[in-house]
Structure 1
Amino acid sequence: MTVRVFAAATLGQIPLVYDPATELTHMPGRNVPAGRVMLDDEEVAGWHTIAQRQVNTRIPFNLCWSPLVRCNLHCPQCLDDKTLSESGATERERIADVLATSDVLGHDISGGEPLLLQSLPQLLKVLSSHRAAVSCTTNGWHLERRAEELAPVLDAIRVSFDGPDAASHDHWRGTGSFKRAVAGVRAAVTHGVPVQLHTVLMQSTAHRAQSVADLAADLGAVGVTFLQMLPIGDGAGLAASELVEDADALRIVRSVQPPHGLRVRLRTRELAEGFTVIRADGQVYHNVRGATGIHAIRPLVTAADLHLPLPEGAGR
């Protein structure tokens, strides 16, 4: 049994529990108090999951905030628009305050590379100051040296892997990346941070899905999320040769035999449709066109700027 932090609330008259490790939202099988709550992850994993479009609410279940464009790696499948300007420290503090009071259940800080941000612990502390669970998505290069500092303010961390060994992973991310990411995961686990491995399914990497799951178990991660590639940013240039179609992605992930205690999931492009992202320029973006593009909606001024259109036929 592993007891860790989740976020609970009632949205659209439906009780919900959000998992900051898997990014899944569940309907609890019992009464759970609202706010940041400690729950057994095995119990939560047994509850039904629910998608945003199924709930009559304009509040996103979770979102991603990318305060940095900067990154120490140059991955060809990167989703980021590197032409965006970065907000300064004062603006980042303001955005954190707005997000913290937004009633969103989960906030993930991504990038660029978020561990380049010295103020990351302070921003995470603000984001979790109300009811939200907080996480971070990283390439893992700087995780070993920052794990102890981040552990008290981080509910989960996701580390990107493109293969189960140095040869396959470093092909995409550069020499030394695998060694640094593995050391980072081990350090996070040692300091009690739940770790989820993230792997983008591409034609060149999908055949290693089982080995990535085995690696995750060896490192002490709680699970693996396989992500369908989104042809956004730099990744658009790889789509013709590397995109894995829906049926193939489902078949690949279903073929994975998770080691005992490890949970494996597929994040499809369908699930990524409409996802809310706050980018480094302070604009609210949504994934559009079946998550094959991303579109700026408006500047983030108040929490209301995060609101989604109500889904047709939502509610129960």
Structure 2
Amino acid sequence: MRLVRHPVLCNYYVTYRCNASCSFCDIWERPSPYVTLDNARANLRDLRRLGVRVIDFTGGEPLLHRQLPELLSEAKQLGLITTVTTNALLYPKQAERLRGLVDMLHFSLDSPVAEEHDRSRGVRSFDKVMESIDIARQLGERPDILFTVFDHNVHQIRAMYEDICRPNDLVLILNPVFEYNSVDTGGQLSDSALRDMAWWGKQPNVYLNDGFIQLRRDGGNHIDKPVCRAASTTIVISPENKLVLPCYHLGLSDHPINNNLYTLYRSADVQQLVAQEGRLPGCEGCAINCYMQPSFAVDVTKYFWKALPSTLKYNWIKGTWKQLV
């Protein structure tokens, strides 16, 4: 049973540029402009008209966009819940300008060991994450630690939790790695890794969407009976101000927005592509977290019930439930 039939999330790529070169990501390899404030203003108004409640200003590295505070402020004025994930290299310099504008601020950290994290990121950034935690707390912000979990680092969850998150009263977000395109992500997670993650997800101040675990046990999305609702729940906007369909990672088509996102999204051509969500050949086996999270929330399936407790837990901790009711 479908509960919501309009998009609820926007992944707004403010740029594909990045000041890191993570081994499990290929976005930083793409040439890219930056979104303009004028285009964003028009798009944000249309996103609100379409029913979007959460906007993730993403990249690349979103803090490279010098007008990110202005983008966030525009979104907040429209009542949107804002999310930013950053490698934290630029956060110490921009923290004051971002203060109070990000509802869900995530600092990416790949290991509690500085050398391992820096090697994964291709740049020295561990110390910047630690510095950013201190600065954010001094400003009254409460960032989360986003830990991408592979088979080779699942044993480090305890150290991430006990040495970094608990002393700083931060939420630890466990982000199961996913495969896409030709990026080497180290293969699928083992059953033992999934069990370990599921156990940790039940601990205080740890967030793990249990639907992610179930989906991986089921072999991901299947095109004959799709779970994915990426195109109907999530609007993807590129730095070139184009609507990307059915999702960023497939990116089969893009459509110039031209300050007319509301009409474009509701057009027959776009809705024909939306109707193919989860059914395209490239959708087989997909388990991409950023699309499955909203997919689980709008359709009453077993994944809805798996995801519900952890989703309620996180929104209660962060206080964002008040903006959703």
TM over 0.5: yes
* Equivalent residue for 1:298, pick from 240, 250, 255: 255
- Contact 1:103/1:132, CA 8 A, preserved across alignment: no
1:75 aligns with 2:22: yes
Question: 1:170 Cα shift?
Answer: 0.6
- Contact 1:143/1:185, CA 8 A, preserved across alignment: no
Question: 1:77 Cα shift?
Answer: 1.4
Distance 1:258 1:105 in 2: 27
* 1:181–1:258 CA distance, 2 compared to 1 (3 A): farther
Distance 1:93 1:287 in 2: 23
Question: Which amino acid counterpart does residue 77 of structure 1 have in structure 2?
Answer: F
* Equivalent residue for 1:189, pick from 137, 140, 150: 137
- The corresponding residue for 1:237 is 183
- The corresponding residue for 1:217 is 166
- Contact 1:65/1:279, CA 8 A, preserved across alignment: yes
- The corresponding residue for 1:152 is 100
Runs of 5+ unmatched residues, structure 1: 1-53
- Contact 1:108/1:135, CA 8 A, preserved across alignment: yes
Answer 1 or 2: which has greater helix percent. 2
* 1:145–1:171 CA distance, 2 compared to 1 (3 A): same
Question: Which amino acid counterpart does residue 121 of structure 2 have in structure 1?
Answer: R
Aligned to 2:119, the other structure's residue is in SS state helix
1:263 aligns with 2:206: yes
Distance 2:17 2:32 in 1: 10
Question: 1:246 Cα shift?
Answer: 7.2
- Contact 1:71/1:112, CA 8 A, preserved across alignment: yes
Question: 1:143 Cα shift?
Answer: 1.2
Question: 1:69 Cα shift?
Answer: 1.5
- The corresponding residue for 1:131 is 79
Runs of 5+ unmatched residues, structure 2: 213-219, 222-226, 279-297, 302-325
- Contact 2:88/2:107, CA 8 A, preserved across alignment: yes
Question: 1:89 Cα shift?
Answer: 4.4
- Contact 1:75/1:172, CA 8 A, preserved across alignment: yes
- Contact 2:10/2:56, CA 8 A, preserved across alignment: yes
Answer 1 or 2: which has greater strand percent. 1
* Equivalent residue for 1:108, pick from 53, 56, 63: 56
Question: Which amino acid counterpart does residue 107 of structure 2 have in structure 1?
Answer: V
Distance 2:172 2:41 in 1: 31
Question: Which amino acid counterpart does residue 277 of structure 1 have in structure 2?
Answer: V
Aligned to 2:4, the other structure's residue is in SS state coil
Distance 2:251 2:190 in 1: 19
- Contact 1:213/1:256, CA 8 A, preserved across alignment: no
**Size of the alignment, in residue pairs?**
255
Aligned to 1:188, the other structure's residue is in SS state helix
1:127-161 Cα offsets, whole Å, 9 max, x none, are 12223211211111111222222112221201111
Question: Which amino acid counterpart does residue 179 of structure 2 have in structure 1?
Answer: L
The alignment's TM-score, normalised by the length of structure 1, stands at: 0.68
* 1:174–1:218 CA distance, 2 compared to 1 (3 A): farther
Question: Share of identical aligned residues, percent?
Answer: 18
Distance 1:91 1:183 in 2: 34
- Contact 2:174/2:197, CA 8 A, preserved across alignment: no
Cα RMSD, aligned residues only: 3.3
